[in-house]
Structure formats: C-alpha cells, structure tokens
Structure 1
C-alpha cells in the first residue's frame, strides 16, 4: 500500500479503483466542493459510483441544482472521456436509473450490482445496499418521511453549528444524533451489516462493498470483508483500492460543520487497511 502524501502539494495520487457513494447531488447538504477537490487529486483506472449519487427524491420535491452539481457531473464525464472506466450502481435515491441496466451515458456504465476482482485476486460484491433496508423495501412512505426529516435535521444542524461556533463550543452533529434515534426506533440498523455480509457469503465472494447507511468502515466480519464507502453529505469519505489490492478508507478532512476555506484543500484522515480489525457499531448511519 502506498504511503500517505501531502494533499497541499497538489500531487496527483494514482489508484487502481475508487469507490464513492451517497453524494446526493440535488440536496443542499451535498459537499460538492470537497468532492471536486478529491476528484482533482485522485486518478483511478476505474471509478465505481455505489448509489445515491443523484438525489432524485429531493429533486422531485423541489428543484435544486447549483453549479457545484454540474461541476461534479462534468468532472466525472471528463474522466470517462480520458479513459477512466466509470460504473454507476443506482441506489434508492437515484432508482430511476435502474430501468437502464447495461446502458452507457457519456461513457458511464449503469449496472445493478457487480463483482469486483481486486489486484490480489479477491472478489467483492458491490451494491448500494438499500435492498436490505426493510424501511425502504416495505414502508416507502415511512422512508420518504424519514428523508424529509433528515433534510430538516441538516438545516437545524447548520444553525446549531453557527451558534456553537460563536459560543466557542465544539462541533456536534444534530443530524447524526437524530438519525441514531430513528434507527433505534425501527430496530433495524444493527442488522444491516450482518445481512449484507450474508449476501456476500451467498454470492461466494471474499467481501462486499456498499453504501446507503452513511457510515464508512472497513472491517472483517466472520471471514467476509465488509467495506462501506460512507457519504459526501456529512463525513465525506471514499474507499480506494491500490495496485496491490489493498483498500484504504479516506475521510476527506475534518468537516466540523464548516464550509471549506477558499482555495484550501482538506487533508485526508488516517487510513485503515482492510486487514485491520475494526469494531462495527450498531449505530451506523442510514440514508
């Protein structure tokens, strides 16, 4: 696995595969500036978009598409034109693309799910993960209400962050706390990772790569590598595969509830290899 490098140097980092999910373009919570900085400095042979890149649910309610959303789309299309293979696996928020499996849009391939073979020969099932979310599958109205509540929580989060900064208090995510309460109420999130891992076991692969619950982690669960890419709404995380088959989980800077400073690039946080034991908490985030 390659050594960490100084982001501020502007040096491009080349990786074999890049996995990104839950960008939620069309949502006011999407951190497009951070994602653009990340995409400028990371070049990959293959980019896998693991669902909820576009937030169709929010766009249906009210159209919101600032220049930053266009910039992200154009950046991905430019990478595709320059030879990067880009695979788009739709999630529940961009489920309209599930009607177009096998279709190419500007060089971007749409797939329901894929088996990714890493450089070391390990095979990974890659899917968004919403098909294992009983709230989305069996109670769509409840899922939509939860999505509306999350929008409200994000708005409250912005206000609280501003007040706490003025008072000299540390950042605290109201939206993360609110999601935790909902997940306890539906008694569901604690089982999500186990169910996804079991799906990987049924597929007879070595691991699974997913998104959906907005909780980035790399762990081994009963012999199956579980990798969740996180999101670009709060945590701003991605997973990269290096040319030796090692995986890294990258958190793109400490958000602290603030917008990025002009012309300054955030630093990646510490990186965990897939072989490192990680305790999986039941309190993971849900989209």
Structure 2
C-alpha cells in the first residue's frame, strides 16, 4: 500500500526508551504517511527514564532509523528537544544526519499562516505553583501509566483495541483540567507575543485543537497514552488523528478559516 502524502507532520512525546512507548503504533503510522516536513516536538528519546530503567527494544531503534532514513531521502526533519531529552539542547542549531536541532520552529502553511512549534515545558511555571507539586504530579502520573500498561495488556489478550485508561482518569481530575487550561492559555499568550497564527505543543500528553483568543492552539499529544499526531494536508487543512488498531480523526481545521471548526467543548470531547 502506497503511503499517504501530507505536507507536514508534527509528533512529540514519543518517549523512546520508556516502557510505555507505543512504538508499534508509531511505526505503522510513519510507514503509512510520507511528509515533506516532519517536526519532532520534544521528548523523542526519554533520557530521563533511561537513568532508572534500561528499556530499548528493537522497535525503538526502528523508529529512529526510519526518521533518519526519511531525512536522507529528502524529508525535512526538525528536532525540538523537550524536558526529557534536554541534553540535546546543548546542540541547538546543529544538524545530525540531516536532522535539524532547533529550540523552536515556525512553519508556514499552504495558506501562509505561521505555526510556531515549541515543546511546552517553557510554560511549566504557569501550571505548577511549586516544585513539590510538580514532583507529586510526576509520581501520580507514573502510577496512572502503570495502570494503563496493565489494562492495555489485558485488553489486548481479550482481543479489544487500545484504550487509554490514563487519559480517561486524568480528564476526570479537577486539578489536571485546571493545569491543562493554564498551560493552553500560557501557550497562546506566548504565540501572540511571537506574532504567530497558531502554536503546536506537546509536553502535557493531551491532544487538542481549539481557538483561544483568536489564536489556534494545537497539541499533537503523545505516543505514551494517546498515540496521536497532527498533520497538514496538501490543501493546508490541519488534522489531529489517533493511530491505533482503528485510526480515527479527532479534529480538523480549515486553514483558510479564522475560527475553529467546532466549539471548544466538542473539541475536548473528541480529543478525550
């Protein structure tokens, strides 16, 4: 089957080297899509997790090899390091095997709209009140991923498709929703200061597409919980998709329009 051609792909939070990385879904997604540009929006290799656990199956190497091959075959690949691969930030403005390492990237859509991509850990101060709260959140999230891992294994043995228990629980915790809202507003304010029409982030593992204060907020999600990616089609339309056994379109945006395709509540329900 020939791959589907798109102008641009944004993916983040692959967390290669982490036991919860869904590399098999990611590989299938990458094999099924060919892009002129791929923007890696941080936390590609999880150096933080690898300090505590050595986990690197063949599928993780295959993901890196495929991305490098795409770069050598003519795809422009931009790598924006995140907080879990911040060691790569030492090499900003360097090119590794034709992969460009940048602190951020401004993409121009088919319609000339400017989309700013940053990982999103830049906005942590707007989300957390203290380091203690951040640590407590990390511990709670690790437990959620533990539950998610075993739920997925049980569902797989029973023949059910992938479903994220972690996302289901997280979206029903009030403090998590408050933190997500603060993050989104901080990202949009940053985009407005940079005169961008839209901003793409990762970091919080919450895929979404919505208009906030006349700025398009985009989060391409992750490959730990949600298995999601953001794509720009050849006509400039933006699609947020989930790619598992049964790929689904979560949201779409007509880049020619000035407002989001549906109201924020509908977008949040779709992304959940």
Q: TM-score, normalised by structure 1?
A: 0.81
CA distance in 1, matches of 2:229, 2:198: 17
Query: In structure 2, what is the equivalent of residue 198 of structure 1?
Result: 189
In the TM superposition, residue 98 of structure 1 has moved relative to its aligned partner by 1.0
- Name the SS for the 1:61 alignment partner: coil
Query: In structure 2, what is the equivalent of residue 277 of structure 1?
Result: 262
In the TM superposition, residue 40 of structure 1 has moved relative to its aligned partner by 0.5
**2:9–2:39: 8 Å Cα contact kept in structure 1?**
yes
CA distance in 1, matches of 2:112, 2:191: 16
Residue pairs, 1:1-287, within 5 angstroms: 10-134=1-125, 139=130, 143-144=134-135, 146-160=137-151, 173-176=164-167, 179-180=170-171, 184=175, 187-253=178-244, 266-270=245-249, 272-274=251-253, 275-279=260-264
Query: In structure 1, what is the equivalent of residue 257 of structure 2?
Result: none
Query: In structure 1, what is the equivalent of residue 256 of structure 2?
Result: none
Q: 1:277 to 1:177 in 2, by over 3 A?
A: closer
CA distance in 2, matches of 1:189, 1:276: 21
In the TM superposition, residue 268 of structure 1 has moved relative to its aligned partner by 2.2
CA distance in 2, matches of 1:203, 1:75: 33
- Name the SS for the 2:225 alignment partner: coil
Q: 1:235 to 1:65 in 2, by over 3 A?
A: same
In the TM superposition, residue 227 of structure 1 has moved relative to its aligned partner by 0.9
CA distance in 2, matches of 1:57, 1:203: 30
CA distance in 2, matches of 1:186, 1:12: 37
In the TM superposition, residue 137 of structure 1 has moved relative to its aligned partner by 7.8
Q: TM-score, normalised by structure 2?
A: 0.85
How many residue pairs match? The answer is 264
Q: Which moved more, 1:273-282 or 1:167-176?
A: 167-176
Q: 1:35 to 1:123 in 2, by over 3 A?
A: same
CA distance in 2, matches of 1:165, 1:75: 26
Report the aligned-residue RMSD. Answer: 3.0
Q: 1:135 to 1:150 in 2, by over 3 A?
A: farther
CA distance in 1, matches of 2:133, 2:208: 27
In the TM superposition, residue 184 of structure 1 has moved relative to its aligned partner by 0.5
Q: 1:92 to 1:181 in 2, by over 3 A?
A: farther
- Name the SS for the 1:86 alignment partner: strand
In the TM superposition, residue 209 of structure 1 has moved relative to its aligned partner by 0.9
In the TM superposition, residue 189 of structure 1 has moved relative to its aligned partner by 2.4
CA distance in 2, matches of 1:248, 1:282: 15
Q: 1:74 to 1:144 in 2, by over 3 A?
A: farther
